[in-house]
Amino acid sequence: MALGLLRAGHRVVAVGHIPDDIPAMVDAAGEDAPRLTCLALDLLQSEAREALVSQAEAIGAVGVLVNNAGLTFTYFDPKRFVDGPRKFWVLEDATVQAVMDTNYMVADCLTRRLVPGMLARSWGRIVNVTTKLDTMDRAGSIPYGPSKAALELASSIWAKDLAGTPVTVNIVNPGAGAHTPGMAQEMRDWSDSGKAPRLLDAEAMAPPLLFVVSREADAVQGWRFDATTWDASVPPVEAARRSGRRAGFLLHPVEDFSAA
């Protein structure tokens, strides 16, 4: 997603908690690297979140926030795809808290911090990464499922609170497991063996992301788009019409984007 924004001409501040990952990110940016700033920060720490906002605002006004920080099954259940899912009662308090804080509270804190500036400048985009309903509600998905459900419903509520303003909130999801360097090797092997669906190429996230941050999406508020159903061969508005569903779909009937 960061590379997609860079290639579309945006200046990007990319954050990761593993410093050794940064050189690979800079290399991947290629000729776009001068518009990329990489920060190694643990966003669970409030001072790290303030440092991120301060350093981003020192570069320029923040118009887009992509809330993609997350801890997933590879953190709290790394042998899931070998030994089967762990039961919720064997997890430690600190593990559950870390997942809930990373997957929901970090997004909540950064969004509350940056939205006032977006409103003052009369333009902004909040983009959240949640997950599929069946992943949220899957056996052995605690605490990942509840953390993503919280962000899903927060997206719907934030969109309602921002209705009628020039700041939008939408969701962009893979719609499947994504093949990324951070994915546990066990999950890659499980997928490659044919025992699980093929992992999505991470680059597929860029087209729906670029649509929701574009001016074409000025009136798109409170929707979710999955990369697996996004057809990049058609105009973005048409791809959105085919792919879009309402955020907060846990509580609301399925509503097609074509009705928007």
Q: Is the residue at 137 inside a domain? A: yes
- pLDDT tens sequence across 108-160: 999 999 999 999 999 999 999 998 888 888 888 899 999 999 999 999 999 99
| pLDDT for 193 beyond 70 | no
How many Å from the N-terminal Cα to the C-terminal Cα in the chain?
25
Number of domains in the chain: 1
CATH number for the domain including 187? 3.40.50.720
Q: Is the residue at 85 inside a domain? A: yes
Q: Is the residue at 139 inside a domain? A: yes
Q: Is the residue at 15 inside a domain? A: no
Q: Is the residue at 29 inside a domain? A: no
Residues listed for the chain: 260
Mean pLDDT of 43-53: 96
Q: Is the residue at 38 inside a domain? A: no
Q: Is the residue at 199 inside a domain? A: yes
2 falls in which pLDDT band (50, 70, 90)? very high
Q: Are 230 and 170 contacting, i.e. CB atoms less than 8 angstroms apart?
A: no
Q: Is the residue at 143 inside a domain? A: yes
Mean pLDDT score of the chain: 88
The overall pTM is greater than 0.85: yes
Domain extent, residue 213, equals 61-259
Those residues with Cβ within 8 angstroms of residue 72's Cβ, 6 or more apart along the chain or in another chain: 144
- pLDDT tens sequence across 208-217: 999 999 999 9
